Chains A and B, each alone.
Chain A
């Protein structure tokens, strides 16, 4: 019995060690293999493929924005960019240095700046939930404009020569102010007799842009189109022109309600940003699709804001990456400064 007990313990010991090792290896292997799922089959909706000939722009530069939640973007002049977000207004030089930091009392929702054609060039108009504040470049508060209505929810500002337009998603109207903050009127009221349904908005995006041709362009997202209002003629209640159509193809606006942001070039062409698949596209003056600035390959999320400069560059506020990304036309000469990113 002694010998047998002896043998027993030896056998038991060895086999126990082996068994422990085997089971541990098996369990570890099983556990490790369980999270090695490679994303082979895409479960997410896939965007359109793009013809390289339609890629009209390339990224020329980008500047990191020191904000948790960048909301809006405007161009002050050739060299300066204004970014609003969190509770602050940041003025950047294009190389990325912060020139000015203006603290705000509440989160801004939109921003615009007077161009050289504006009555007060370089004035900064900041839209909050239901009112507008006007700053100069030194950061001094010039004026606080009364809310058009208490329930206003201002999502976009556009500046023309003598007028300032504010898009109010709550009332589904675009308010027109003069530069002193006097309310002059509004656009977008439905006119049954002319079959104009007004702004049909079922999503939290509403954008306006002023053009040099005396028209104010506003997106009518649910109708998948952009409408031009003649603000010089106060009698004109309905848009004088509209363009755009819904389409799953690149040449139209995708889904239920697009585009989300627009900007108008000096020559009257349009840049649009979409949600869903975050395309930024170029359309001609007449509204024909010309090409693509950026798409899902470049942008992880829909653009938070969009603006264009005199050199036909497109500036996109990429809130996910917390960057302003500057796209330059491919044929332009001005592509030198940030090839180092490659």
Chain B
């Protein structure tokens, strides 16, 4: 670039007046000033025109005397047309994110207060309505705590993913609250839970065995979602979120149908998504038994009146033990065998998970594209997909894609082994927990499954006595009825 500083113009006979290239900008500026002086002195129209011409020349030279960058020639507009800039609407302002976070904190605190201190179901319902409106219909967008699992998993699995602290806060807040107050998040804060809470008008009881079996699903779903998110494959929780499309009043027909069906089902089966699918619920149900304070059915002592037995639509009330314990030796043996077989179960499932790593890896878009490209190159007659067409258009070498796919496949090996082991552990622990004979002196909520909805309070005579709705005499009647053996396991008489 020796020549850049030197300005060697073309021979004079080829120069046009309109684009005099020889003159440096300084010289041009001086010329303009001289002409201006001349204009003042003479004031003739002619010299005005000369000045204008000089300015135009100077403009042109100044505009074009910039070397070094490639030129994308715009038309040389002469009518004074100004080239506009593209306008871009800004995204959601930051304060709205902070407002959501603030709402989350306030709502969690309120839910805990209503559920544990005031024992006020109406308040929880009201809060649920507000949450559905705020976090559901108004906010529309993401991220919610349920989906944040995947962001966190991805951040752990892929250090290049810049997870916003806001997402971590949204993920952690309900966990911390659960550690102290039980699943108050599910009660009235989570919009997915709240909307199901609002439609659970006449829920039926799900048979115990089915409830236990389906209750394993959220844990499996959690494991799969974490592995798929951590490998950067997909955010399945968001993809198959049943209600977000209802909140947005849009989306694919399939997902809308799924959401609508889930709500319809929710009329008869209490909270189907929370109980049998929600992976965040699975996470919370692990933490909830450790809670410092937890929802109690009775505000005081349980009189074993069994009034609450039918109260819970979510199958989360554990009866007090009425039957005598079974044969202790057999029970111990069974428990011991199950505990011994637990590592075996985990190992078998982990192996199965390892076997699954390739089908799972094929869910990754790059891997499936690589597989497709390989198939297409081997047999061109199978045609192309949009993805392979796009890939061909980039001109990227296919070997690079294969190498990337292989790298992703390797990442899936620990992921799918973890997934298998996790499923095995969940399964094994379930078997162990079923084998343990429960000693319970009173009716109490299942600490993992109870979502703190507050329905059971109302059914408890002790609660009614606390509220002053029934007299102590009536409470005593309940107490006596509970203690007298009821023939044939009949329900105690209603008041």
A179 touches B (CB below 8 Å): no
A130–B3 CB distance below 8 A: yes
Question: When the two chains form the complex, which single residue of B16, B67, B386 contacts A130, counting CB atoms closer than 8 Å?
Answer: B67
Q: How far is the CA of A9 from the CA of B383 in the complex (A)?
A: 51
Q: Which of B63-121 contact A (CB under 8 A)?
A: 64-68, 70-75
Interface string of A284-305 (1 = CB under 8 A from B): 0000000000000000110000
Q: Which of B21, B213, B384 has the most CB of A within 10 A?
A: B213
Q: How far is the CA of A30 from the CA of B434 in the complex (A)?
A: 33
B399 touches A (CB below 8 Å): no
Closest to A35 in B: B368
Question: When the two chains form the complex, which single residue of A5, A43, A130, A171 contacts B4, counting CB atoms closer than 8 Å?
Answer: A130
Contacts of A301 in B (CB 8 A): 395
A32–B363 CB distance below 8 A: yes
Question: When the two chains form the complex, which single residue of B368, B392, B434 contacts A12, counting CB atoms closer than 8 Å?
Answer: B434
Q: Which of B11, B360, B434 has the most CB of A within 10 A?
A: B434
A172 touches B (CB below 8 Å): yes
Contacts of A151 in B (CB 8 A): 64-67, 71
Q: Which of A20-35 contact B (CB under 8 A)?
A: 20, 23-24, 27-28, 30-32, 35
A13 touches B (CB below 8 Å): yes
Q: Give chain A's interface secondary structure class.
A: loop
Q: Which of A169-223 contact B (CB under 8 A)?
A: 169-172, 175, 183-186, 189, 200-204
B430 touches A (CB below 8 Å): yes
Distance from B441 Cβ to chain A, minimum over Cβ atoms (Å)? 17
Contacts of B8 in A (CB 8 A): 146-147, 183
A9–B330 CB distance below 8 A: no
A274 touches B (CB below 8 Å): no
B10–A148 CB distance below 8 A: yes
Contacts of B392 in A (CB 8 A): 300
Q: How far is the CA of A203 from the CA of B434 in the complex (A)?
A: 74
Question: When the two chains form the complex, which single residue of B64, B363, B427 contacts A28, counting CB atoms closer than 8 Å?
Answer: B363
Q: How far is the CA of A149 from the CA of B64 in the complex (A)?
A: 10
Total interface residues on A, CB under 8 Å, equals 60
Question: When the two chains form the complex, which single residue of B73, B427, B434 contacts A8, counting CB atoms closer than 8 Å?
Answer: B434
Question: When the two chains form the complex, which single residue of A11, A39, A320 contacts B389, counting CB atoms closer than 8 Å?
Answer: A39
Q: A20-B220, A32-B363 are in contact. Are A150 and B14 (CB under 8 A)?
A: no
B1 touches A (CB below 8 Å): yes
Q: Which of B2-19 contact A (CB under 8 A)?
A: 2-4, 6-11, 13-14, 16, 19
A103 touches B (CB below 8 Å): no
Contacts of A32 in B (CB 8 A): 362-363, 368
B224 touches A (CB below 8 Å): yes
B368–A146 CB distance below 8 A: no
A54 touches B (CB below 8 Å): no
Distance from B17 Cβ to chain A, minimum over Cβ atoms (Å)? 10
Q: Which of B125-133, B161-169, B204-212 contacts A (4 or more CB under 8 A)?
A: B204-212
Contacts of A27 in B (CB 8 A): 224, 236, 240
A78 touches B (CB below 8 Å): no
B387 touches A (CB below 8 Å): yes
Q: How far is the CA of A150 from the CA of B360 in the complex (A)?
A: 58
Closest to A150 in B: B67
A53 touches B (CB below 8 Å): no
List 22 A-B residue pairs with CB atoms under 8 Å apart, sorted by A's residue number: A5-B434, A9-B431, A9-B435, A11-B213, A12-B213, A12-B430, A20-B216, A24-B220, A27-B240, A31-B363, A32-B362, A37-B387, A39-B384, A43-B386, A131-B1, A150-B7, A151-B64, A151-B71, A183-B8, A183-B11, A185-B10, A185-B11
Question: When the two chains form the complex, which single residue of A11, A16, A152, A171 contacts B427, counting CB atoms closer than 8 Å?
Answer: A16
B234 touches A (CB below 8 Å): yes
Q: A16-B427, A144-B2 are in contact. Are A153 and B71 (CB under 8 A)?
A: yes
Q: A32-B362, A151-B64, A170-B73 are in contact. Are A37 and B386 (CB under 8 A)?
A: yes
Contacts of B213 in A (CB 8 A): 11-12, 15-16, 18-19
Question: When the two chains form the complex, which single residue of A37, A201, A320 contacts B73, counting CB atoms closer than 8 Å?
Answer: A201
A171–B67 CB distance below 8 A: no
A267 touches B (CB below 8 Å): no
B73–A204 CB distance below 8 A: yes
Q: How far is the CA of A172 from the CA of B389 in the complex (A)?
A: 37
Interface string of B359-372 (1 = CB under 8 A from A): 11011010010000
B3–A144 CB distance below 8 A: yes
Closest to A18 in B: B213
A129 touches B (CB below 8 Å): yes
Q: A31-B234, A150-B7, A204-B72 are in contact. Are A19 and B326 (CB under 8 A)?
A: no
Question: When the two chains form the complex, which single residue of A11, A35, A150 contacts B387, counting CB atoms closer than 8 Å?
Answer: A35
A175–B73 CB distance below 8 A: no
A152–B11 CB distance below 8 A: no
A36 touches B (CB below 8 Å): yes
B490 touches A (CB below 8 Å): no
Q: How far is the CA of A201 from the CA of B213 in the complex (A)?
A: 71
Closest to B323 in A: A1
Given A1-B323, A23-B217, A39-B383, 4 other A-B contacts at CB below 8 A?
A5-B326, A183-B11, A183-B14, A320-B395
B493 touches A (CB below 8 Å): no
Contacts of A342 in B (CB 8 A): none
Contacts of B142 in A (CB 8 A): none
A106 touches B (CB below 8 Å): yes
Contacts of B209 in A (CB 8 A): 8, 11-12, 15
Closest to A147 in B: B3
- Which 9 A-B residue pairs are closest in the complex by CB-CB distance? A2-B326, A15-B213, A9-B434, A185-B14, A12-B212, A1-B323, A16-B213, A11-B209, A146-B8
Contacts of A17 in B (CB 8 A): 427
Closest to A176 in B: B14
Q: How far is the CA of A150 from the CA of B326 in the complex (A)?
A: 98
B214 touches A (CB below 8 Å): yes
Q: A13-B431, A16-B427, A202-B75 are in contact. Are A149 and B21 (CB under 8 A)?
A: yes
Interface string of A150-178 (1 = CB under 8 A from B): 11110000000000000001111001000
